[in-house]
């Protein structure tokens, strides 16, 4: 009798690691939208060296994608082929060194702002309102209230797709509005951020004011992914921000399946409870078409869309 050989899985093809490798990992429970299919494989590295060794040894045809707390992410319903990387506890440190903070890439933005407040370091308050990790904030040059990561980054560390480690200056990162110029397969592992000394009470007061403003204007308790579209170039939009263009196009409260444009802030999409990723993405594209028809402005997705649909196809991720 000829013994049947079990089919080779993706996990079988991946190098040995000190961290954790798992197959067919559900992603919907970790995304803020609570939608999407599974990761074909997930890797949680033990530390930066484990991550570098894995990237150096992985088969070149295996795609990798890093995610944080998935606050600004839409995972399509068919899931994510290849390996999804999530940085864990080894990357969450935040240490005050003089007038800087040395941080791991999976430290929460809000945690960094709170540590800075406790140390009497101002200038990082805006991070308290950005729902994600520093790795994502670096990748998209996250910002709020006229401040952004480019204003506070002293340096960053990253591992490229071949497992080589790099220490980067802000100039090398190529920051622009809600973007940086590094290749998509580079993974941030940490950064150094600059603050300026100030009385703690004044810092705390500004953070509280920001919190109250968010509570009043954003659907914080809904299943959402934060700002859906980046604000367009003011010269192209006559100074109107994304939400103003969406409102003027009559999209406030617009529904498609279980997805809805927020009544409270119309640059937020909401999963009302039964939405699929396809519902949310199709609603976003409907909003983009209506804004183009009424204003001539092409909105750019700020939410990252990854993976494949149930039809096995993926639309553009950056349109």
- Give CA–CA dist 319/317, Å, rounded: 6
Max intra-chain CA distance, the chain: 79
Contacts of 141 (CB under 8 A, 6+ apart): 148, 149, 150, 175, 176, 177, 178, 179, 180
Q: How far are the Cα atoms of 187, 266, 281 from residue 163, in angstroms, in the given order?
A: 10, 41, 33
Three-state secondary structure string covering 244-260: HHHHHCCCCCCEECCEE
∠ Cα 178 184 185 (to 5°): 150
As annotated, the active-site residues are 178, 227, 302
């Amino acid at each position: 009798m000829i013994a049947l050989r079990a089919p080779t899985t993706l996990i079988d093809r991946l190098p040995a690691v000190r961290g954790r490798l798992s197959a067919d990992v559900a992603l919907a429970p970790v995304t803020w939208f609570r939608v999407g299919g599974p990761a074909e494989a997930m890797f949680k590295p033990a530390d930066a060296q484990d991550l570098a060794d894995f990237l150096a040894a992985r088969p070149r045809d295996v795609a990798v994608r890093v995610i944080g707390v998935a606050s600004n992410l839409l995972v399509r319903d068919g899931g994510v082929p290849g390996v999804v990387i999530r940085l864990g506890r080894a990357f969450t440190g935040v240490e005050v060194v003089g007038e800087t903070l040395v941080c791991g890439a999976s430290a929460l933005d809000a945690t960094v702002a709170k540590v800075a407040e406790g140390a009497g370091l101002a200038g990082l308050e805006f991070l308290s309102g950005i729902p994600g990790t520093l790795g994502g904030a670096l990748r998209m040059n996250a910002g709020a209230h006229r401040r952004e990561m480019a204003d506070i980054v002293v340096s960053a560390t990253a591992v490229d797709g071949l497992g080589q480690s790099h220490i980067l200056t802000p100039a090398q990162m190529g920051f622009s509005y809600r973007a940086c110029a590094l290749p998509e397969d580079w993974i941030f592992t940490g950064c150094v951020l600059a603050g300026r000394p100030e009385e703690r009470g004044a810092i705390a007061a500004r953070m509280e004011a920001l919190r109250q403003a968010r509570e009043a204007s954003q659907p914080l308790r809904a299943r959402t992914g934060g700002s859906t579209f980046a604000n367009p170039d003011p010269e192209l939009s006559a100074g109107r921000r994304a939400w103003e263009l969406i409102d003027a196009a009559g999209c406030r409260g617009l529904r498609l399946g279980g997805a809805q444009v927020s009544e409270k802030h119309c640059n937020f999409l909401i999963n009302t409870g039964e939405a699929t990723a396809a519902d949310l993405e199709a609603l976003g594209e409907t909003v983009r078409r209506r804004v183009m028809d009424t204003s001539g402005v092409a909105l750019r997705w700020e939410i990252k869309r990854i993976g494949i649909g149930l039809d096995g196809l993926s639309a553009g991720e950056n349109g």
